[in-house]
Amino acid sequence: MFATPNSAGMAYVAKVLWRRQLRWFAPLRRLFRPAPLAGFIGIATGSFIAVSGQQMAGDKSSSDTAAARTAREFREASNRYVAHTNDAEAAWQFGRACFDLAELTTNNPARAEIAEKGIAACREAMALQPGSAPAHYYLGMDLGQLADTKRNLAALMMVKEMEREFLATAALDEQFDYAGADRNLGLLYMKAPVIASIGSRSKARQHLRRSVELAPMYPENRLNLIEALLKWGDLEAARREATYLEELWPEARRRFSDASWAKSWLDWEKRFQAAKRRIGQGSKPAKHSG
């Protein structure tokens, strides 16, 4: 007869494994960076106004900051969503505004509440217009926000739904948000655990490369690919991609030049410099003692 594993011992091992798998959720909401969408999304009422007001407190020049713009767009999108209850576009725009505001909210319960409102709005948009790529896309984004507040088995289960929504977006409009579906799928497959989840290096590489093919001028796409290649130890491929990005950098600066891109450029510049340092360090000959 075969020995039967001790159930209590197996339960403990499973609990430890789940905790290890869930560690990757800590930065989940930062995986997805939608392109700035200036001037058309915005506002809600009640607790959401209180949350955005708390975020603005202490901001000496709030009218000029990205945070103030996000809060304003959130209010405007909420007003439009409430006024146009059967408008799929108004619903998914509110879903996007929820993602953006949740990104600024440090209080987990408040962030979860905002994300849940965005999820509900996107589901409503999908019911009104099943073929809406933006509705599927921002549903996946808001699910990521909500999952980040959970960090438990429920969060891990949301990953499959996020994958499904981004795959649906790609099938409907692979160009949306500068190849946002492939960009997010690549990051999701790269960051998710392989055990008990959807993590896959081959799928990550496939989708990150596809995002570059679809929107080569969008810096975020090639930066993600470079960072992934460095993580995987493929220095030569990372160097090639960095060379391409260096050549495209001035034109990208011209294309994405208005104020709504300022925060993105700060992030891109920092990451690109860090990647080039890593590539430069990797190209140096190893030192030998003796």
Mean pLDDT split into 10-residue runs, the chain, 290 residues: 39 39 49 51 34 40 67 95 96 97 92 97 97 98 92 77 97 98 96 86 97 98 98 96 97 94 94 96 47
- Per-residue pLDDT at 185: 97
- Per-residue pLDDT at 31: 61
Nearest to 217 by CA among 175, 164, 168, 260: 175
Write down the architecture of domain 29-213 according to CATH: Alpha Horseshoe (1.25)
Report in angstroms the alpha-carbon separations of 117 from 48, 55, 100, 111, 203: 10, 18, 12, 10, 31
- Per-residue pLDDT at 290: 32
| Rounded Cα gap, residues 107 and 202, in angstroms | 36
Contact 221, 215 (CB under 8 A): yes
